[in-house]
Chains A and B, each alone.
Chain A
Amino acid sequence: MTLTTIHPATPTRSGFSAGEYITCLTGIVWREGLRFLHQRERFVSALVRPLVWLFIFAAGFRQVLGISIIPPYETYILYEVYIAPGLMAMIQLFNGMQSSLSMVYDREMGNMRTLLVSPLPRGYLLFCKLLAGTAVSVLQVYAFLAIAWFWDITPPPMGYLTVLPALILSGLMLGALGMLISSGIKQLENFAGVMNFVIFPMFFASSALYPLWRVEEGSPWLAYLCEANPFTHAVELIRFALYGKLNWVSLAVVGGCTAVFMIGAILAYDPSRGFVRRGPGGEA
């Protein structure tokens, strides 16, 4: 008996309605949101990390790094104010990586199979996952901004609104990067090592902690490296947006990188290429 005799006359569908796409998106975002809310430690640690940098690191380096006026700032700023956008991007970087870490976890635990039975395109599922991760990271950033406000980091009120698109774009870029990396990781244990090779170099070789002119004074080559780092542009995009300005170069770089990483991730997770090495018996 063949399968067709058991399930006859199942019409094939060429496309899906927008409602179906939205249902899928809602489901994935909801699951990610629930997972985030239920892991209180994750929320607290996501907040504590940048706050430690802000309260301790920035206080210690306040006098060492000096003051200067660089765009988008129009007057002298304290070091805390300078690193705030960098810390916002750091939240997103960690979140992007953590979100992709959860993909590895899902794959190991088998949850991903449940997701993959969805008939919707694989690329769309990945995009939903990315959006879900970004939504969580944006929430974390706003929680950080709320606390930072009491630390005299008070961007113009409109800045809280104008930074949102920048946060979404940079969140997508960093999430897509994490996803691309996660596609090549087979086990959770390997993830931590890779993170050390990605998070720390990206964070330190950027304009998150010190302005590029300051890096250039120390080493022009390092400054070139920082400028080529997409994370630098994510930081600058957020920094400018927080003050109601737009950095076109950063926007182009972040937009371009998002597209490249996203396409890379979709290709890497393409079933025809095989994201999980299959054994001879067809088992994962």
Chain B
Amino acid sequence: MLMKMLCPTRWKRFHWQGDRYGSVRQAMTNDDASAMPASPRLPGEAGLHRRCNPGEGGSAHAVLTETAPLPVKTGERERTVRAARSRIYLTKGRMRELCRRQFARGLRLAAGLLTAALLLAQASPAFAYVAFVSNEKGNTVSVIDTDTWTVTKTIKVGQRPRGIAFTRDGKFVMVAVGDDDTIQVIDAKKMEVVDTLPSGPDPELFAQDAAGKTLYVANENDNTVTVLDLEKRVRIGDVQVGVEPEGMMLSPDGKILICTSETTNMAHFIDTATRKIVANVLVDARPRYAEFKTDGSELWVSAEIGGTVSIIDPAKREVTGKIKFAVPGLRSEAIQPVGISLTKDGKTGFVALGPANRVAVVDGATHEVKKYLLVGQRVWHMEFTPDEKYLLVTNGVSNDVSVIDVAAQKVIKTIQVGELPWGITIAQP
């Protein structure tokens, strides 16, 4: 029908060239087809090709021609001749009616499909998480819905919020407010500060054990790591470490706590049972962050001024390799590795390169940089969504959070948050 509407001449030619009624009938509705007898070529006839001329009945645009199979029985001859003579003409009005019907049918089909798609979408809602972002200068925490990628709430907190993490039960968010020398606890449902935890002066980053019972806090101005009992919410011990402790990470088995001290340029290995340093590993200048592979086979420590990530063998407690970065067109001083995230399978690592405004994608096995992803300015810390589908990174200077599609290794979106975003934590509410 469409062919006929668009190109009547071509349509006619199509049939003159020996096509049978069958194809026409298929394209029409049943009642139209029933009105079209299959028949009419008589033996010896070259087929009936007849064009409807104006004034002959019907219109030139609505003509049907026919070249049907030969009738087998003699008795059918008259019938077929009669049928041939009473040839069907589609008038313009009839065609319009047919088009209207087809159009209405198409509309109904489209509406049905749309409804089905909507129902399907409702039946399987997106698996949304919430991300809490600490804004160091804004003294707020921005809450991002990972379904809509929008900031749904901004929570006022203490002075200079930096380290931030969900409690293991996912009910609370702890945020280290350095200038208030404490750790505030935010109720993840009520979205407000409900409690505080003790710490030393200027807490920056912290790590909690797998059970969520013990919290280890790096106090930047005090050169100590404070140990807190999360259930009783009391301080249960201190560990003296190097100058300006920052990065805090527990080994997967929970036996070793790593603390990096920015000025001493060391990764301290602390025995969590005895709360004593058992080893110090020298790394490049200003180590900011440490991250274990899930299987505990490697420890990655970023050095901001050194511009490298040191790969440490946790068993031997020595540096076995270094990841170096080079972004085309950028001075090497602009490359300052800070945040690190490793996928659970340990195959891919992501390293935030600070003022280079890039996140490096590193092969977990070969330690080679595969790609640099452009994000906002002064990219700092990062966190995977629990399903590891996305990686969210905080961009301090441009005041936003970039979303990386982990599988595609592409930045898909950037969301404005508060002033100077620093840390980030994600969980399901």
CB distance from A70 to the nearest CB of B (A): 12
Contact status B412-A19, CB under 8 Å? no
Binary A-proximity of B396-426 (CB < 8 A = 1, otherwise 0): 0000001100000011111000000000000
User: What chain A residues lie within 8 Å of B403 (beta carbons)?
Assistant: 75
Contact status B410-A76, CB under 8 Å? no
CB distance from A159 to the nearest CB of B (A): 13
Whether, in the assembled complex, A22 has its beta carbon less than 8 Å from a beta carbon of chain B, the answer is yes
Whether, in the assembled complex, B277 has its beta carbon less than 8 Å from a beta carbon of chain A, the answer is no
What is the bound-complex CA distance between A20 and B413, given in angstroms?
51
Contact status B412-A18, CB under 8 Å? no
Whether, in the assembled complex, B68 has its beta carbon less than 8 Å from a beta carbon of chain A, the answer is no
Contact of A77 among B10, B330, B374 (CB under 8 A): B374
Contact status B414-A75, CB under 8 Å? yes
Whether, in the assembled complex, B346 has its beta carbon less than 8 Å from a beta carbon of chain A, the answer is no
Contact status A19-B376, CB under 8 Å? no
CB distance from B382 to the nearest CB of A (A): 15
Known: A18-B8, A19-B9. A75 touches B413 (CB 8 A): yes
Contact status A62-B329, CB under 8 Å? yes
Smallest CB gap from A154: residue in B = B410
What is the bound-complex CA distance between A74 and B374, given in angstroms?
12
Contact status B413-A74, CB under 8 Å? yes
Binary B-proximity of A134-165 (CB < 8 A = 1, otherwise 0): 00000000000000000000100000000000
Smallest CB gap from A78: residue in B = B374
CB distance from A266 to the nearest CB of B (A): 24
Whether, in the assembled complex, B182 has its beta carbon less than 8 Å from a beta carbon of chain A, the answer is no
What is the bound-complex CA distance between A78 and B328, given in angstroms?
12
User: What chain B residues lie within 8 Å of A77 (beta carbons)?
Assistant: 374
User: What chain B residues lie within 8 Å of A59 (beta carbons)?
Assistant: 329
CB distance from A105 to the nearest CB of B (A): 32
Determine chain B's interface SS by DSSP, over half rule: mixed
What is the bound-complex CA distance between A109 and B410, given in angstroms?
53
Determine chain A's interface SS by DSSP, over half rule: loop
Contact status A76-B374, CB under 8 Å? yes
Contact status B10-A74, CB under 8 Å? no
Whether, in the assembled complex, A263 has its beta carbon less than 8 Å from a beta carbon of chain B, the answer is no
What is the bound-complex CA distance between A239 and B403, given in angstroms?
22
Whether, in the assembled complex, A4 has its beta carbon less than 8 Å from a beta carbon of chain B, the answer is no
Whether, in the assembled complex, B117 has its beta carbon less than 8 Å from a beta carbon of chain A, the answer is no
Contact status A19-B413, CB under 8 Å? no
User: What chain B residues lie within 8 Å of A22 (beta carbons)?
Assistant: 7, 10
Binary A-proximity of B69-107 (CB < 8 A = 1, otherwise 0): 000000000000000000000000000000000000000
Contact status A19-B402, CB under 8 Å? no
Contact status B8-A76, CB under 8 Å? no
User: What chain A residues lie within 8 Å of B330 (beta carbons)?
Assistant: 63
CB distance from A207 to the nearest CB of B (A): 20
Smallest CB gap from A59: residue in B = B329
Whether, in the assembled complex, B392 has its beta carbon less than 8 Å from a beta carbon of chain A, the answer is no
CB distance from B131 to the nearest CB of A (A): 16
Contact status B402-A18, CB under 8 Å? no
Contact of A18 among B7, B375, B376, B410 (CB under 8 A): B7
Smallest CB gap from B413: residue in A = A74
Whether, in the assembled complex, B6 has its beta carbon less than 8 Å from a beta carbon of chain A, the answer is yes
What is the bound-complex CA distance between A148 and B145, given in angstroms?
34
Contact of B414 among A18, A69, A78, A154 (CB under 8 A): A69
Whether, in the assembled complex, B146 has its beta carbon less than 8 Å from a beta carbon of chain A, the answer is no
Binary A-proximity of B12-30 (CB < 8 A = 1, otherwise 0): 0100000000000000000
User: What chain B residues lie within 8 Å of A154 (beta carbons)?
Assistant: 410
What is the bound-complex CA distance between A75 and B411, given in angstroms?
7
Contact of B412 among A63, A67, A69, A75 (CB under 8 A): A75
Smallest CB gap from B5: residue in A = A18
CB distance from A158 to the nearest CB of B (A): 14
Binary A-proximity of B369-409 (CB < 8 A = 1, otherwise 0): 00000111000000000000000000000000011000000
List residues of B (55-75) whose CB comes within 8 Å of A's CBs: none
CB distance from A152 to the nearest CB of B (A): 9
List residues of B (284-315) whose CB comes within 8 Å of A's CBs: none
User: What chain B residues lie within 8 Å of A78 (beta carbons)?
Assistant: 374
Contact status B374-A67, CB under 8 Å? yes
11 A–B contacts from the bound complex (CB under 8 Å): A20-B9, A59-B329, A62-B329, A63-B329, A75-B374, A75-B375, A75-B403, A75-B413, A76-B374, A76-B376, A76-B402
B interface residue numbers (CB < 8 A to A): 6-10, 13, 329-330, 357, 374-376, 402-403, 410-414
A interface residue numbers (CB < 8 A to B): 17-20, 22, 59, 62-63, 67, 69, 74-78, 154
Besides A18-B9, A19-B8, A75-B411, 10 new A-B residue pairs in contact (Cβ under 8 A), listed by A number? A18-B7, A18-B8, A59-B329, A67-B374, A74-B412, A75-B375, A75-B403, A75-B413, A76-B375, A76-B402
